[in-house]
Structure 1
Amino acid sequence: MTEPYDCKECKESLYGQKYILKDDTPYCIKCYEALFSYNCEVCSVLIGCTSKDLSYKDRHWHSECFLCAKCSRSLVDRPFATKDDLLICIECYSNEYSAKCYACLKTIMPGSKKMEHKGNSWHENCFTCNRCQQPIGTKSFVQKDTSNYCLSCYEKQFALQCITCKKPITTGGVNYRDQPWHKECFVCIGCKQQLAGQRFTSRDDFVYCLNCFCNLFAKKCAYCTTPISGLGGSKYISFEERQWHNDCFNCKRCCVSLVGRGFLTCKDDILCPDCGKEF
């Protein structure tokens, strides 16, 4: 029968012996170390009950073995970082692995907040607008010639102004006759349809979509009365102040095309020579 002060594992009496309680259960030193102690990551020697056990992510060290892998200084009660499972003091880690601030060229210490853009890094307080010097933080910004600008400063200093609304053009835009427009401001003077990416023409410094231009200014076909644009190389027939679409220039009686052929006129009608002989 086990006595209250016998070792839980080996059953040896603990009277007059050193022992350790774990979960209210007594163990002799030897059994406790065999069951619950760990080997040191560095020296591989058991970390005994009389030694201080330092642990990090299920790994254990003697306090005297808990050292920086680069400079061998003790890491006890000091901040550290890890690289490839090696423990490294903050100073060594910063010198060898930490990014340098693009603005002040000083090391960005591990754990401190940093801003990154296109492969460069900044301290949070160094990531500022080149014009107003205010921190940009997580706000939108524009980079120009390696300098960063908040949108407000960029618009004031660099952005073109729309010829119509006089506001800055920050993205996209249309350039026509060396003048800038927002896409939404570059519209037909007649129907207000946006003209970016569409065929258009101009008259008296105003821009028009083809439909509005034809309806307002193009001559009308003497046969079908719809506008003749003459734009884009389209062909038409003109005779005595009258115009026809090529497809509409036909004999009034037999409807044969008269394009490139001789013809006769009878009052307002045009006739092929054969039909004209009947009059």
Structure 2
Amino acid sequence: MECQACNKDLMGKEYVEKKSKNYCLACFDDKFASKCVECENVISAGQKELVFGDEGHYHEKCFRCSKCKAFLDVNNYETSDKRPVCQKCYTVQLPGGGVCPSCNQSLKSGQPKLEYKGKQYHENCFICSYCKKSLGNERFYSKDDKNICVPCYQQNLAQQCAKCNKPITDVGVKSKGEIFHKECFICYGCGTELSGKSVAAKDNKPYCVECYGKMFANRCAGCREPITGAGGMQYITYQDRHWHSQCFICTACGKSLENSGFNLKGTDIVCPECFQKP
């Protein structure tokens, strides 16, 4: 699996899915990340992003009243000139209101409201599309123009971790066609996290290179170290013995025998010249 922008291998690494395509975190930030309206810095993948209206994007810490700069409650603010304002500033400076698209009743000045995607709702009218529970004080997801509470999203839409079978609601790690929580993608030998590391597999279970070498790999007949194949390492097999390519040398003179002829002298491998010597 590769990043659709830079072709970087994403196996065992964190990535973000965008429109059914996978991107490394750096390419996602470069191509798709929004800029915060308040501080004008990029909102990176993994940072919490608040969306105000159709184009207003904020870091969570930058979501402030455009009038008095007070920090805003994401569940209780108003709108002025397409910018967010606190209830106090709205009530004092901007009397009036609109109509809630859910119940078609008026939105009065000073009344608790929620705004999402350019629409204002009564606090109790902003509800989950599945269970109809109010989302006023809850985290929620938005998918296909539906607003969904966390339990309903996890039950109906979230992918399941191949290890713990619990829903993955944030960044996942994909390996061998399966997806894991970052903390669940661990070596079956020593338990260390494998995200961003070289990974070997045995019976569809991931292992770090060190554990795989100790537990399963053939030993080099030359140096006696494991032959893991990690990083594209080449190796040579002859009869029942195995060598790293750099260890496949004449036992008499040390000449490399890779891509050349060799002979057996007892159990030793030797070059043709050394084989002729008494």
The alignment's TM-score, normalised by the length of structure 2, stands at 0.59
Q: Please state how far the C-alpha of 1:81 moved relative to its aligned partner.
A: 7.6
Q: 1:206 and 2:212 equivalent?
A: no
The amino acid across from 1:135 in the alignment is S
The amino acid across from 2:206 in the alignment is V
Name the structure 1 match of 2:27.
none
Larger deviation: 168-177 or 123-132? 168-177
Name the structure 1 match of 2:108.
109
List aligned pairs for 1:220-259, cutoff 5 A: 220-259=219-258
The amino acid across from 2:210 in the alignment is N
Q: Please state how far the C-alpha of 1:115 moved relative to its aligned partner.
A: 0.7
Q: Which secondary structure does the structure 1 equivalent of 2:237 belong to?
A: strand
Name the structure 2 match of 1:149.
148
List aligned pairs for 1:117-128, cutoff 5 A: 117-128=116-127
Name the structure 2 match of 1:53.
none
Name the structure 2 match of 1:16.
none
Say which structure, 1 or 2, has more relative contact order (CA 8 Å, 6+ apart).
Answer: 2
Name the structure 2 match of 1:20.
none
Name the structure 2 match of 1:76.
none
Q: Distance in 1 between matches of 2:98 and 2:117?
A: 13
Q: Please state how far the C-alpha of 1:258 moved relative to its aligned partner.
A: 1.7
Q: Which secondary structure does the structure 1 equivalent of 2:170 belong to?
A: coil
Q: Distance in 2 between matches of 1:107 and 1:100?
A: 4
Q: Distance in 2 between matches of 1:207 and 1:256?
A: 37
Q: Distance in 1 between matches of 2:246 and 2:93?
A: 82
The amino acid across from 1:197 in the alignment is G
List aligned pairs for 1:31-110, cutoff 5 A: 94=96, 98-110=97-109
Aligned CA distance change for structure 1 residues 102 and 144 (closer, same or farther; 3 Å): farther
Q: Distance in 2 between matches of 1:144 and 1:152?
A: 14
Aligned CA distance change for structure 1 residues 113 and 262 (closer, same or farther; 3 Å): same
Deviations 1:139-169 (A, max 9, x none): 2121222222222232223223323223222
Larger deviation: 151-160 or 219-228? 151-160
Q: Please state how far the C-alpha of 1:250 moved relative to its aligned partner.
A: 1.6
List aligned pairs for 1:124-135, cutoff 5 A: 124-135=123-134
Q: Please state how far the C-alpha of 1:219 moved relative to its aligned partner.
A: 1.2
Aligned CA distance change for structure 1 residues 133 and 179 (closer, same or farther; 3 Å): same
Bigger Rg over Cα = 1
The amino acid across from 1:219 in the alignment is N
Q: Which secondary structure does the structure 1 equivalent of 2:215 belong to?
A: helix
Aligned CA distance change for structure 1 residues 81 and 217 (closer, same or farther; 3 Å): closer
Q: Identity of aligned pairs, percent?
A: 39
Aligned CA distance change for structure 1 residues 197 and 255 (closer, same or farther; 3 Å): same
Name the structure 1 match of 2:23.
none
Deviations 1:34-59 (A, max 9, x none): xxxxxxxxxxxxxxxxxxxxxxxxxx
Name the structure 1 match of 2:162.
163
The amino acid across from 1:163 in the alignment is A
Q: Distance in 2 between matches of 1:141 and 1:206?
A: 34
Q: Which secondary structure does the structure 2 equivalent of 1:181 belong to?
A: strand
Name the structure 1 match of 2:32.
none
Q: Please state how far the C-alpha of 1:232 moved relative to its aligned partner.
A: 4.9
Deviations 1:158-212 (A, max 9, x none): 2233232232222122344554422211222112222333332322232222222
Name the structure 1 match of 2:54.
none
Q: Distance in 1 between matches of 2:140 and 2:229?
A: 48
Q: 5+ residue gaps in structure 2?
A: 1-90
Name the structure 1 match of 2:275.
276
The amino acid across from 1:226 in the alignment is E
Q: Distance in 1 between matches of 2:198 and 2:101?
A: 47
Aligned partners of 2:198 and 2:230 also within 8 Å = no
Aligned CA distance change for structure 1 residues 146 and 99 (closer, same or farther; 3 Å): farther
The amino acid across from 1:138 in the alignment is N
Aligned CA distance change for structure 1 residues 176 and 252 (closer, same or farther; 3 Å): closer
Q: Please state how far the C-alpha of 1:220 moved relative to its aligned partner.
A: 0.9
Name the structure 1 match of 2:187.
188
The alignment's TM-score, normalised by the length of structure 1, stands at 0.59
Name the structure 2 match of 1:22.
none
